[in-house]
Amino acid sequence: MSFVNLKGILLSLAVAVPSWFLGKLFPVVGGPVFAIIIGMILTGFIKQKTSFEAGIKFCSKKVLQWAVILLGFGLDLGVVAKTGAQSLPIILSTITVSLAVSFFLCKVMKIPSKISTLIGVGSSICGGSAIAATAPVISADDEEVAQSISVIFFFNVLAAIIFPYFGQFAGFSTVSGEAFGIFAGTAVNDTSSVTAAASTWDAMYGLGSQTLDKAVTVKLTRTIAIIPITLVLAVYQLYKTKKSAAGEEDAKLNFDFKKIFPFFILWFILASVITTLCHSFLPEALVVHADKIFGLLKTLSKFFIVLAMAAIGLNTNIVKLVKTGGKPLFMGGCCWIAITFVSLLMQHILKIW
């Protein structure tokens, strides 16, 4: 963390700290939602954001990854594996339908193919991270990336605010975080809003971190899909480039594995391995103390989530998003609705909900 980030981090903290306490006072809303809304309101009054941008980005990306890593403490590796396997059919179904919807609307509404690809991938896998990984592979420019991320963030914010109440309406269990956790992990675009919605559900029904644990594990399983999908896009892009450059020097594959692999998932798994080893080999008296430490780390993780949400709110310009054009926004909405419907349908078929 550098001095360049400091102003943005302090601004995010100025939003996150009161949001954390407001979330305690009003658990039906939750700290993450307060942070998003306050951040979105506050950003409209900041005329010069340049000096804050580095710190805001640091909180929305790095701090959120730290939050996810810390959630691994207290999670048994067997539970992680079981949850991943349980949610895999739903994940594959939601990814397929989102990509199909984006492809169909690209052709029907004549939306630029690169924006369509970025929105489809961002909606189906993990929001901004998937867009960032895919952009260099398909040679998308900064404006296309910014527009796609803005669309995804818009529906992320809506999901974080609306989904806990939609879950009430849909009749998800309020004594267990399993059904809503799987729903949040498969139907919400970005890790940030997955954690926000799941944290709100836990707070609403006093479930500790049941829903959050489930949702994050499902989401990280889903995030791994970045790798095969980006590889496929890279090969397709290479084929197109070679075809259009007939007779010219062979095209080079614009692909960097280090940029697309979500390495923080490995740290999450390592944290879960540490927990599993503690529960398996330590004496019972020491396990009690270890669980207390894990509990403190989870509390810190929840605060980091609120901090990341504050940064997301500060980085969301709703007015600019609406002005950039209705077609990409419409596509993002269609992908979002389709994913939500398929997630619910698959949970019903699998008898989870």
pLDDT (tens digit, 9 = 90+) per residue, 202-235? 989 999 888 998 998 898 888 777 778 877 877 7
Tens digit of each residue's pLDDT (9 = 90 or more) over 81-122 = 888 788 889 989 998 999 999 999 999 998 888 889 989 988
Tens digit of each residue's pLDDT (9 = 90 or more) over 115-169 = 899 899 888 887 766 776 677 778 777 667 767 877 887 888 888 889 999 999 9
User: Which is more confident, 19 or 34?
Assistant: 19
* 3-state secondary structure labels for all residues of the chain: CCHHHHHHHHHHHHHHHHHHHHHHHCCCCCHHHHHHHHHHHHHCCCCCCHHHHHHHHHHHHHHHHHHHHHHCCCCCHHHHHHHHHHHHHHHHHHHHHHHHHHHHHHHHHCCCHHHHHHHHHHHHCCCHHHHHHHHHHHCCCHHHHHHHHHHHHHHHHHHHHHHHHHHHHHCCCCCCCHHHHHHHHHHCCCHHHHHHHHHHHHHHHCCCCHHHHHHHHHHHHHHCCHHHHHHHHHHHHHHHHHHHCCCCCCCCCCCCHHHHCCCHHHHHHHHHHHHHHHHHHCCHHHHHHHHHHHHHHHHHHHHHHHHHHHHHHHCCCHHHHHHCCHHHHHHHHHHHHHHHHHHHHHHHHCCCC
- 186 and 87 Cβ atoms separated by less than 8 Å: yes
Q: What is the CA radius of gyration of the chain?
A: 20
Tens digit of each residue's pLDDT (9 = 90 or more) over 177-195 = 899 999 999 998 877 788 8
Mean pLDDT of 313-332: 77
Distances (CA, A) of 68 to 63, 130, 148, 194, 336: 9, 17, 24, 11, 23
- At 247 the pLDDT is 47
Angle in degrees, 0-180, between the axes of helices 178-187 and 191-205, rounded to the nearest 10: 160
User: Which is more confident, 248 or 24?
Assistant: 24
Domain ranges of the chain: 72-303+318-349
Q: State the chain's mean pLDDT as an integer.
A: 83
